[in-house]
Amino acid sequence: MSEIPPPNPLSEGIDATRRVPAGVLVVVGASGDLTARKLLPAIEQLSRRRLLAHSFAIVGVARTELTDDGFRQLMTDAVPDGDAAWTDLVKQSRYVTGDYSDPSTFTSLAKVITEVEAQIGASGNRTFYLATIPAVFEEVADGLGAAGLNRPPTADTSVRLVIEKPFGRDLDSARLLDTALHRTFDESQIYRIDHYLGKETVQNVLALRFANAIFEPLWNRSYIDHVQITVAESLGVEKRGGFYETAGALRDIVQNHVMQVLSLTLMEPPGSIDAQGIRDEKVKALRSVVIPTPEAVRADVVRAQYDSGWSEGKAVPAYREEPDVSPNSQTETYVAMKLMCDNWRWAGVPIYIRTGKRLPKRLTEVALQFHSVPHLAFGKAESRDLRPNALVLRIQPDEGVALRFGAKVPGQAFNVRDVLMDMSYGSAFMEDPPEAYERLLLDAMVGDPTLFIRSDEVDQAWQIVDPILEAWESRAVPLAGYAAGTWGPRQADQLIERDGRQWRTP
């Protein structure tokens, strides 16, 4: 193994003891958009922060015909301003053209990996990143297995497989995918990415809850009236109409990103902040979520699709007019729902979730609204601007945590109203957090699975979402509409107002 270069100041903010050992990152689907947009820039950042061994190379694989030099050019185009370490990394990287259904693709890949390892002095640490469409996950895993690439070549090296959602399109297909992957890879080798877990603010849910004495005692049904989780996007489906038609907001956002944020919010404190401790508690939390019955889906879940409207001052088309979208599409671009969690901590506390495209702004947050005080001693007029306390975890943008509480308005009268105590990441830490992919790629390559989703977590999340899909497929739930640039359909307001509560207006 070659020597690991010294840290540089840019590596602050990432645990400097975690450096990627000599090895190879194999990107399957290397000519695609994800590689150029996310993976290569993330690798370059890791290299710039001196978190990669010198003996590190990328081997790209894809159906697109490219030479080694063509791939190196693609790497340079993706990161044109890389430093000298990046230029070295580009020089030692290689490419294999081939179809994933052809076993010779993987035998050629095995040969190239061995050549690269010999050339750079790496001894067999291999990470396979499947940046492909999910339809070929199984084929690629089988191909890797048939070529013997699923096993480390030596006892002290590791082989890992990184895949990204969607993990199936319902419970059955997710289970089939898992069975297929487990044919060739052990669960401990599989790293399932949900890029939300790479976000600092999502990880901060754990820090906020379990590094402070003041929040956790209040984090339960005795003090919390309800929870609201919002994942709002101002963009429409952009150029992804073809994909989105097969997904919809429930599969695209709720089954994964929302379920991850939800499980971190609801979970019990783990014994230790390690992979097993955290993931065990997350699964336990998801197991406590009440699986919606068909009646509950009809009553407590709203699905809707955006119509034409206005976004950031511009007229924008309806979803059905977007490229590659059927003019009669029944795909939802918005979901709102109420879930309940049956356990000691959360019994009776509704969890309201909403997510949608073409909403007024991009915003992801978790808000815990506390109960009102048992008796308000102030007069109605004096306290008319006072709302119950709320703790808001702003995941993005404008990352931070805010606490809403009542304060006396300065003056002769005893008027009280809400004020915000607001912590913002930007001013508290004065440094940019690493990109989600940077963090997650590093974790995968050093073998830390804490921020990756275990097979039983995926399964449990589908168990919650599957009955909703089933109810929708039997057309029991109508598709509502909302104008682009608004906060969703009127039915979503009714869903929460029926319980005497309101969506937050961020």
Active site residue 195: no
Whole-number minimum distance, CB 196 to ligand BG6, in Å? 7
Residue nearest to ligand BG6 (CB): 252
Residue 200 as a binder of ligand BG6 (CB under 6 A): the answer is no
Q: Which is nearer to ligand BG6, 150 or 364 (CB)?
A: 364
Residue 252 as a binder of ligand BG6 (CB under 6 A): the answer is yes
Query: Whose structure tokens read 């429930």?
Result: 250
Query: Whose structure tokens read 């906060």?
Result: 487
Instruction: Output the six-digit token pair for 410.
Output: 């300065």
Give the count of residues interacting with ligand BG6 (CB under 6 A). 3
Q: What percentage of the chain's residues is helix, strand, coil (to nearest 5)?
A: 40, 20, 40
Whole-number minimum distance, CB 204 to ligand BG6, in Å? 15
Residue 332 as a binder of ligand BG6 (CB under 6 A): the answer is no
Instruction: Output the six-digit token pair for 141.
Output: 């895993």
Residue 399 as a binder of ligand BG6 (CB under 6 A): the answer is no
Q: Which is nearer to ligand BG6, 58 or 304 (CB)?
A: 304
Q: Which is nearer to ligand BG6, 105 or 364 (CB)?
A: 364
Whole-number minimum distance, CB 233 to ligand BG6, in Å? 5
Whole-number minimum distance, CB 245 to ligand BG6, in Å? 12
Q: What radius of gyration, in Å, describes the C-alpha atoms of the chain?
A: 24
Q: Which is nearer to ligand BG6, 113 or 193 (CB)?
A: 193
Neighbours of 114 (CB within 10 A): 13
Whether the Cβ atoms of residue 233 and residue 204 lie closer than 8 Å to each other: no
Check 54, 195, 226, 257 and give the catalytic one: 257
Whole-number minimum distance, CB 180 to ligand BG6, in Å? 22
- Please state, in angstroms and rounded to a whole number, the distance separating the CA atoms of residues 398 and 480: 31
Strand 159-164 and strand 56-62: pairing?
unpaired
Q: Which is nearer to ligand BG6, 55 or 364 (CB)?
A: 364
Q: For 40-74, b where at least 16 C-beta lie within 10 A, e where not — what string?
A: bbbbbbbbbbbbbbbbbbbbbbbbeebeeeebbeb
Work out the burial of residue 4: count CB atoms within 10 Å of its CB; fewer than 13 is exposed, 13-18 middle, 19 or more buried.
middle
Whole-number minimum distance, CB 363 to ligand BG6, in Å? 10
Interaction mask 338-367, ligand BG6, x per CB under 6 A? --------------------------x---
Question: Which parts of 177-295 are beta strand (E)?
Answer: 190-193, 224-232
Residue 233 as a binder of ligand BG6 (CB under 6 A): the answer is yes
Three-point CA angle 123, 125, 128, nearest 5°:
135
Q: Which is nearer to ligand BG6, 149 or 442 (CB)?
A: 442
Q: Which residues bind ligand BG6 (CB under 6 A)?
A: 233, 252, 364
Which residues are known catalytic residues?
A: 257
